[in-house]
Structure 1
Amino acid sequence: MVEILEFNILDNSFFEGFENLTFEDKEESEVFLQLIKADKIEAVSTKILDYIFDSHNNHGLGNIPLKALFALLGIKDKVPRYSKTKEEISCFYGRKIKTNGRMDLIIEASPYLFLIENKIRHNLDNPLDTYRKWVEKNYDKNHGFTEKYYIVLGINKPKEDLKNFKFVSHHNLVSKIIECRGENSSTGSTHLTPFIEDYFRAMKNMNTELSEEESQILDFCMNNFEKLDQLQNFKEKIANVFEKNLIDIVQEIEVFNDSKVCMDIADNWKDLGVYSDSQFFFVKEWACVLQIHYQLERVGIYLTPYSKTHKKVLSRECFEKFLIYLKSLKIKFVEHDPINNEFYIEIAKFEPMRGNSKIIKKINELISIIQ
């Protein structure tokens, strides 16, 4: 018996809003740092920043990273040609251990000095005021540093009070470096350029700003989250209906005796469904398995042949022999690309929820023909 589901959770405003959305096929390919899960490790990021902000290193960027930082901070003065860096500086200020810390990065570009606290994954719980006091004490005017800037470099602006620190995002920093590099014809490439580019892409991928279309989708979801939750819950109800139908089908087919019906509640609606695999049954020199896959789009009937003796995956040559046998019986089929080296074919498809008797009849007829 087909269960009737009431689908009254959506109204016209929902459909109108949905129709106005534009969905982009936008996929950011992973870069090497992301593949090895190093893009979110602050120590890795700090070491790369330490390298590219030191103008004496052979990175081919010169003082372009410094130019980018000047632009983001709104510094209008001439950018110093040279800069050097210090990484992981121990900061001892006072006797209490809790007031001490370790500063991530200092950039010296006289008369400018930049203290950078690098944050990617962790919360901002560092003693920023202690860092500032340490810098004021150790880099006074006698050292030639009259302009000091304190920066928190992160993915998103922290909720915590930054006090005397300014926030700069990783995305904006690397984007500005790339922009400044494009305006400068004197930049060059070195053996490390591909790795630096990889870092830039990883940082941009991490917090790329939303496009106008993506912002509209976000607004739509925020305004309709209760209905979207109901739709998500509705998937399980549909899968339950499919399960009942498939159980009714396999109970009427001998080769599915004792076969389980499995749910496949996928992330997307198209792949939502249930399926059942038959027991092995023998056809000439092959052991075969039928699968019924009940989905929103279709009910697919699939046939997979194996070797008769050991029930192993067939070679391409043996599979071709099986196809020739099916053609000799005038059985129509659609060949699909192998999955995990297993060859299979689609021998029939039906519309879901259109009655089970046709599916049962088709499968029983097929088995009687090929055996």
Structure 2
Amino acid sequence: MINEMNGIDESGTWHDAIAVFTEVPASSTEATRPNIFRIAGFPRRETVSSNVLAYFFDPAENHGLKDMMLKALLPTIHKEDMDVSDVSVSTEVSTGKNNRIDILLDLPDISIAIENKVDAGLYNDLADYRSWTAKQSNNDSAIVIVLHPFNNFVLKDHPSAQGLVVEQNLFDVHYDELFSNALGMLGEYSLDADPRAVDLLQQFIDNYSPERKQKKMDNTSTDITQFVSQANGIEQQLVNVFQSFEKYTEAVRSKLHTVHSDLISRWAEESPVNGKSVTLADDWEYIKRHNPFENQYYAQSFKLENPGSGDVDRVVTCEFFFNIKFNDGYVSSDPEYGSFNTIWYKAYWGGRNTSQKKPEVQITDPYNQTLDAKLTDSNEDIKKAVEAAVERTLKDNWNI
């Protein structure tokens, strides 16, 4: 059917319409990632922010980042070389005047009272914070920090600053100053840290960083403007493209799910390597439905029974998946090396529920390879190609 208003063939091909989208995107905005603070409904809750900060300030906590956040804070108050060997962290500490200190850090050589401001204005008795902290710690070098996200924040001559000297025993620290210092050290510290804690810190920064929020807003506006301009006059063709691609992805997921299920049943009855006792260690499908241009993984782990003496972890995981874009957090693809008819394959040591949970020890080289079968091939041909790749991988890496 031809749309008489713009001459668009609404039911026909859309190749020419897609051709106009060869321009490099104006911005590099990442898709909005899940964020526990927004999901839980307290993206700007001050007590939540203080509790999370206190958790990361405490080197003894189970995040594994040790003293990273403390060392990110100390340069903001000109105390880079301060001893952090013995630290006590408290929250909601009541003073003699029943004021409450959001976060209290007791270090060997200094005590730091932090007033954490997220949205509310500054009206606190900061002199009371400082005097109470100095008395409790028997340390006259106690200081007060106002931690905040405001760009035009001025402590000098502020009513709450009376009795204190800015840049001596009273400091204001911007969230992004603290975050920038922390991110600069994260690469080194994250090697021994709990990955869930690192992800929590990243989510916290994403949620509370004014700089990141403003950048996302700017990028969003730019992306909308560019897309509206590019799509002008070819809206229906683009809708047709999207609908057609959704049908393709659902059809491929259904086909590969069937292939995977059949292979699991077959491997459960007979070893994928003739003459060897190989058992299934785990299997799963990793589904990504939020972004149509991302993949679904079909993975299977294999364990060699009764390995040679000294061999501890003999689990190999093999995955096959589709589409021309993938990023599993370890390896990203280049669309030039694949097509919508490509099936990808990779293998690595370990797998879920094993001592090597993450696919960091790669087996296939290059890591992501094209399988010797196409999506348009029959299910049996795809199963044969997967089985051949799996058997080759296991034989090569178990030396059998």
User: Normalising to structure 2: TM-score of the pair?
Assistant: 0.43
